[in-house]
Amino acid sequence: MLDYLEYLTTWGIYLLAATGLMTVWWRMTRPIPWPLPRQTLRVLVAATILVPAPVMYGSLDWAPALFVLLLDVTLVSETETETLRAIPFLLYGLILGLLVLLADGLFRHWQKKKTAF
């Protein structure tokens, strides 16, 4: 396993790469004329890229949940529950992102209604 400094360096490099990917995705979704699908796609990709999951049960080491899921699916595991252990983390991230998106939409609707009077 990695020592603490290597672990932090790896996460820092990953977050820089994820920021670059999100910037490119942001630019790619800019031409979509409807705000709801555009923002939903952005939240979906952000949740997929940024959510961490534990590498093993009871481990203090975390990795991006997408990579944990891909490794669990490609490597043969003895039980079915080990294969799907990253899915709850991905779902939690997606639900949290969609709730933030809903709160943002309600706030914008409230502000628009407030300025109309």
* Domain residue ranges in the chain: 4-116
What does the pLDDT look like over 21-79, one tens digit per residue? 999 999 999 999 998 999 999 999 999 999 999 988 888 889 999 999 998 888 866 66
What is the rounded average pLDDT of the residues 74-97? 83
Q: Residue 94: what pLDDT?
A: 95
H-state helical runs in the chain? 4-29, 35-50, 65-74, 80-83, 87-116
Single-letter amino acid code for the residue at 5: L
pLDDT of residue 76: 65
pLDDT score, position 1 = 65
The whole model's pTM is what? Answer: 0.82
| Both tokens assigned to 21 | 């990917």
DSSP H or E run through 43: helix 35-50
Q: SS3 breakdown of the chain: % helix, strand, coil, rounded to 5?
A: 75, 5, 20
63 within 8 A of 55, measured Cβ to Cβ: yes
